[in-house]
Structures are given as structure tokens and as C-alpha cells.
Structure 1
Amino acid sequence: MAEQSEENEKSEDPTQKRLDEALDRGDVAKSQEVSTWFVLAGGTLVLMAFAGSMGTSLRASLAGLLANAHLISADGAGLTRLSGRLGGEVIAAIAIPILLIALFAVAGNMIQHRLVWSAESLKPKLSKISPAAGLKRLFSKVALVNFAKGIAKLALLGTVMTMLLWPERDRLEALVTLDIAAILPFTSVFALKMLGFVVVIMAFIAAADFFFQYRQWYERQKMSQREIREEFKQTEGDPMIKARIRRLRETRMRKRMMAAVPEASVVIMNPTHYAVALKYERGDNAPLCVAKGIDSIALKIREVAQAHAVPVVENAPLARALHATVEVDQEIPVEHYRAVAEVIGYVMGMRRGLRN
């Protein structure tokens, strides 16, 4: 039982196949804090770049509205035209900033993981409506960490805001006595200053949360030894089946080689260990290896050759060299042309002598 428990314990690092399957399911390492930071940073940059132009455009529209208020028709059609015109001007003023913020939001997700299209999260699951599963998620380690993270974030941001606002408390009190035209420059600069500090703090929080979320995701993908063996069988095949297939291939190759030995021109071998059967006919580019083997296969090649009157020449160095450098159904390498030519010439000379 102890050994079975150890096999089922998810203690092994996930394979690349397991990680790819998780991504295909839409199970990715994602930090909401990173997405929030991108939106916040993008919004701050947009305010810095477009606040002046947006304010000028909207101020001109509202100023024209107030200046010509007496000319505006108060009936239904007139109010409809007015609301449409104002809506169009507002949209025109904020369209590019809103689009840029949306792009920052998309970038905040894409920088964490590659683009994933998966309907897995849309499938109905009983665990999503189960009260027991809901309570388990509510009091889980992740929920407690998120709660502690939220409290720490609020405390940190509150502390920084207090440190920024406290030295300016007298100026803030005096703002109520100033004209609105004098208030706006101060509030815009002070707001951007506060947003800058928030962006810096949130950058550290987002980085820490991403590494935490990634570690949690990686731990979820860990595998047991049994799962690794099953995956290996699926991807590489059952070792027993692979061994059987390999034996069948070797048997077929051996039969094919033995059938080709009677057609060979010569068999080159050392006394017992290596044998290479070569076939050569006039007009061929080079001799062709039709069979080769060591030990018992070498002896079988010799036996078949002798049974079919194929010359057998003992040349131990050449037999070893050919066995190491040429495969079945391949021509011999150039470096062995001369040595093999001498052997084949010797065999042909013997055959001519026998015919005479």
C-alpha cells in the first residue's frame, strides 16, 4: 500500500506534453494583479498624453452648449439631437484613450501566456454549483492567500496615499477658497503624482503575485510516477510491444538477407565473427551489400553461401571495416573500392580458372 501511495503521489515535474495539454484546456498561470497593473499603467500614460486634448475638446463643446443654451429646442426631437451630438463629441474625445487602455488590458493577459482558444471553462460542471465544493474553495489555501494579499495591498496603498496627502493637507484645505480654474492644474498634477506612486507599488505586487500564481499552476501540473509511465506508453509505445516489433523486424530482415545471399558475388568474413555479402555485376557503379551480420548470423550467411556455391573469402580487417561502414542495400564506401576490387578480381580469376 505504501508503494502504491508513493506511485500515486504527484511529486514529479510535469512533462512538456502535460504542460501543453494544460494550455490547450485553458489552464494557464495567470495573475489578475498583472492585468490590473497594465490597465492602471496604461490609464496613467493615457491621462498624461491625452488629458489636455480631451479636456480642451470637451470644454469647447460644453462652452458652446452653455453659450447657445437659449437656442436649444426643448422638445423631444431637439433634445434627441442634442444628446446625439454631445454623445458623438464625447466618444470622439475619449475613443483613442479608451482603445489604448483596452490594448493595455489585452497585453496584460498575453504577456503572461500565449493566446489560448478553449471552450473548456464554458462546459457545465457540477462542482461549480456544489455547496460543498464552494465551501472548499472559500476556505482553501488560495482563497486565504488572496484575502491576505488584498488586505496587504489595501494597507500598503493606504499608507502610501497617507504619506502623500498628509504634507499637502493645508493646501488641500485652501482649495475650497480658490477659483475652479486655479484648482484644476493643482489637482491634475497631484492626481498624476499619486497614480505614479500607485503604479510603482502595484508593479512589485503584480510581480510577486505572478510568481506565486505560476508556482501554484506548476504544482497543479505535477505528475505521479504512474502518470509518467502511462504518458510514456502513449507517446513512445509500450516497451514490450516495441521490443516485439523490433524482433519481428529483425526476423524479417534476416530472412530477406538470407534470401539474397545466393545472388551475392562474394562473402567476405573473418573466421567466425563478421560476414558481409556483396553483389557486383558489370556496369554497376560499385558493389552492393546484400547481407551482413555477426556471430550466429555471420555463420548462417557463410552456410547459405557455401550451400549455393558463393565464394567465401576470409579477410578479417576488410570484413570488420565493411560491417561498420555499409548498410544492407547500400553501395560500399569509396575508401573500400580498391580492397573489394582486389577480392572480386580474385574471385573472378578463380571462376575463370575453374571453367578452363
Structure 2
Amino acid sequence: MSGDQSQDKTEQPTGKKLAKERDKGNVAQSREVPSVLILACSTAVLFFGGSWMLERLRDIMRAMYQRAGTLNMATETMHNLFWEVFLSCVGVLIPLMLVVMTAGVFGNVAQFGFLITGEKMAPNLAKMNPVSGIKKLFSLRSLVELLKSIVKLTIIGGVVYLVLLRYMDRIPGLMRLSVGEILSFIGHVSFQLALYTCLILFVMAAVDFMYNKWQHTHDLKMTKQEVKDEHKQSEGDPAVKARIRSVQREMARRRMMEAVPDATVVITNPTHLAVALKYEEGMPAPVVVAKGAGFVAQKIKAIAAENDVPLVENKPLARTMFKATEIGDLIPAELYRAVAEILAYVYRLKGLVSG
């Protein structure tokens, strides 16, 4: 049982998992959001600009009828007339089309940001498998989508019924009205229907978006082992990293020990610390070529003794340099005087400076 439990997907998806799925085009989205935005924006455009659009379309039709008596019925002439009328109508409807396109794009961008991926559009033979198609048809997700559609149609149908019921007593009287008044009545009722439908769909879109976001996160949940494996891939296996650090330290220690024979002097504590310095003519200041404590200090002193590098005991100076410097550092300026005295002593020992 514990083995089964360890494979349960109980962990929230990591940022890396979400980013990987996003690259595949797998993001949380609701189709209701762009749909309701398109409907709402279209309704607003028609409400504020519908009269202007209708007037422009009337002008186009009026101009066409005025030319009807003088038109040559040749095929080429009719073809040119058709395109002229078509382009004029498109010019009138362009604001509405632009608003619809913008609302559709914004409805998706608002949910998951800008995302362009070809993986969703790439051909996938697995999607053509009829068995998989049947399974999807009767899956829980399909049933939920069917239920949402039924609820949406029921609510919208109820809204349409209630709105029309308010104007039912005025419908018989439409026969006595002019065409313009009838169109005005139809426009008013249509706007009422669109307005109430938008309000209902806004609420449903918000609920649908939250549900899809929850479903998306639930589908991408990971097992504890998957989280551990991903962490290892991202950060590296701790055991391997520890081994690499150990090898790096060993290589650095080996290089440091190889520099001890070329040192000018080794300053000791005398047993616990050792700092090897190198100084040659032309150098701005002595350089720390090796340092260590405990066993490493003993190793430095042993190599120095084998290569006739002088060992000088100076507890305060050894302690200060050990704490204040790293391998390759020039000694601090405040230690120049103390180190200079030691170097002078070393040079006298070597007979390089007369006593």
C-alpha cells in the first residue's frame, strides 16, 4: 500500500513542469471568456455605432438602386458592381470586425499571456486513433463540457423567454407600425437580449475559467518521486555535486602543494597554521601561494623542509594572514613591515644580504 501511495499525484506542479507544458501549448483556458468578450464588444459597437453603420449601408443600397436603370447588364459590369458594393460594405463593417478580432485575442491573452507554439498544430497520428476518440467522447471532461453546454443553453433560453415575455403584448401591434418603427423595436429587444445574455455569460465565463484553472493544475499534479527527480535534474544530484566539490578541493590542494617548493618562506603558528609566501624582485608585494591548518599545515611544512624553504615561527602574523588572505592574494598593506622583517631575516639566512 505504501508503494501505491508513493505514486499518488499529490504534489502541486512545479514551475518547470508548468513552463514545459506551456511550451507545448497546454495552458489553463476557458473558451467562454473570449466568446463573452466578443459578444459584449459587438453589442457595444452596434449600440453606439449601429445607427451610423445602418445609415452607411442604406447609402450604399440607395446608390446601387439609383444606378440600376443606367447599368449595362454585361457580365463584366455586374462583376465590377458586385465588388464595388462588397468593398463598400466591408469598409462599413471593418470597425465591428476589428473589435471582434481584438476582443477574441484579448480574451485569450488575458488568460495565459502571449503564446505562440506550433506543437498543438503539428500533425499527431495518435489523435486520429478512433479508440482514443471514443474514450475522449465518454470521458469525464466531455461529460462536464456537455453539462456546461446544457446549463448555458437552459439559462440563455430562460433569459430569452423572460425578455420576450415582457414585450409579448406589443408584438401584435407591430403590424400597424412602419418598417422603421418595427426595426427600432427589434433593435431595442435585441439589445435587451444581448445585454442580459452578456451579464449571464460573464458570470459563467468567470466560473468556467476558475474551473479550468483548477482542472489544469489537477491534471499536472506530480508524484513525490517526480518532484525529487526534477529537483535533481535542475540542481544536480547532491551525491554527485558533493563528489565534484571533493575532487575540486583535492585538485586545488594539489596545486597549492606544488607551489610550496617555490615559496620564499613559510610562516607558522608553529603547529596548527602554516602560510607560504613567495616574493621575487619586481613583484608589488609578497603573494600567498599556500596556507592550511592542522594536517594541511603539517603537509606544507614537510614539503617546505624537503625543499629547503625556511620555516619562520610567528604566531600573531601567521594567524592574521591565515584569516585575512586567500590563495593568490597579495599580503595586506598593514602587514608589509612585519613580512619585510621576516624576508630580511630569510635573506640573511641564505647569505643574500650581509649581516
**TM-score for both structures, normalised by structure 1:** 0.87
Task: Quote the residue 1:301 is aligned against.
Answer: 300
> 1:268-295: CA deviations, max 9, x gaps?
4434444332333454334322122232
Per the alignment, residue 87 of structure 1 pairs with 86
Q: Size of the alignment, in residue pairs?
A: 352
User: Do the aligned partners of 1:311 and 1:347 also contact (CA within 8 Å) in 2?
Assistant: no
Matches within 5 A, 1:1-356: 2-316=1-315, 318-332=317-331, 336-339=332-335, 341-349=337-345, 351-352=347-348, 355=351, 356=355
Q: Distance in 1 between matches of 2:24 and 2:202?
A: 29
Contact kept? 1:42, 1:104, Cα under 8 Å: yes
State whether residues 265 and 278 of structure 2, in contact with CA within 8 Å, keep that contact through their aligned partners in structure 1.
yes
State the alpha-carbon separation in 2 of the partners of residues 81 and 153 from structure 1: 45
Cα distance, 1:331–1:162 mapped onto 2, change above 3 Å: farther
Cα distance 1:354–1:115, how it changes in 2: closer, same or farther (>3 A)?
A: closer
| CA-CA distance at 1:340 after TM superposition | 5.3
> In structure 1, how many angstroms separate the alpha carbons of the residues matched to 2:49 and 2:129?
48
Which moved further from structure 2: 128-137 or 100-109?
128-137
1:30 is aligned with what amino acid?
Answer: Q
Query: What is the DSSP-based 3-state SS (H/G/I as helix, E as strand, rest coil) of the residue aligned with 1:142?
Result: helix
Report the aligned-residue RMSD.
2.6
| Whole-angstrom distance in 2 between the partners of 1:211 and 1:164 | 29
**Is the alpha carbon distance of 1:155 and 1:338 closer, same or farther for their aligned partners in structure 2, counting shifts above 3 Å?**
same
Amino acid at match of 1:254: R
Point out the more displaced range, 299-308 or 207-216.
299-308
Amino acid at match of 1:174: G
- Gapped runs of 5+ residues in structure 2? none
Name the SS for the 2:120 alignment partner: helix
The Cα shift of 1:60 comes to 0.8
Between the aligned partners of 1:139 and 1:307, the Cα distance in structure 2 is 84
What is the alpha-carbon distance in structure 1 between the residues aligned to residue 113 and residue 60 of structure 2?
A: 43
2:266–2:309: 8 Å Cα contact kept in structure 1? Answer: yes
Q: Secondary structure at the match of 2:28?
A: coil
CA contact (8 A) 1:269 1:319 kept: yes
Contact 1:266/1:344 (<8 A) preserved: no
CA distance in 2, matches of 1:154, 1:353: 103
Shift in CA distance, 6/330, structure 1 to aligned 2, threshold 3 Å: farther
Question: Residue 130 of structure 1: CA displacement?
Answer: 2.9
Q: Deviation of residue 178 (structure 1)? A: 0.8
Change (3 A) 1:283 1:212: same
Shift in alpha-carbon separation, 1:90–1:8, aligned structure 2, 3 A? same
Shift of 1:104: 1.5
SS of match in other structure, 1:151: helix
Whether the aligned pair in 2 keeps the contact of 1:31 and 1:209 (CA below 8 Å) is yes
8 A contact 2:289–2:327 mirrored in 1: yes
CA contact (8 A) 1:28 1:113 kept: yes
- Distance change >3 Å, CA 349–CA 188, structure 1 → 2: same
5+ residue gaps, structure 1: none
Partner Cα separation in structure 1 for residue 179 and residue 317 of structure 2? 102
Alpha-carbon distance in structure 2 between the residues aligned to 1:267 and 1:126: 74
> 1-side partners of 2:321 and 2:2: how far apart?
51
Question: How far 1:58 sits from its partner (Å)?
Answer: 0.6
Counting aligned pairs with the same residue, the percent is 34
Partners of 2:299 and 2:125 lie apart in 1 by 67
Does the 8 Å contact 2:25/2:120 carry over to 1? Answer: yes
Q: Distance in 2 between matches of 1:103 and 1:284?
A: 70
Structure 2 Cα separation of the partners of residues 47 and 313 of structure 1? 95
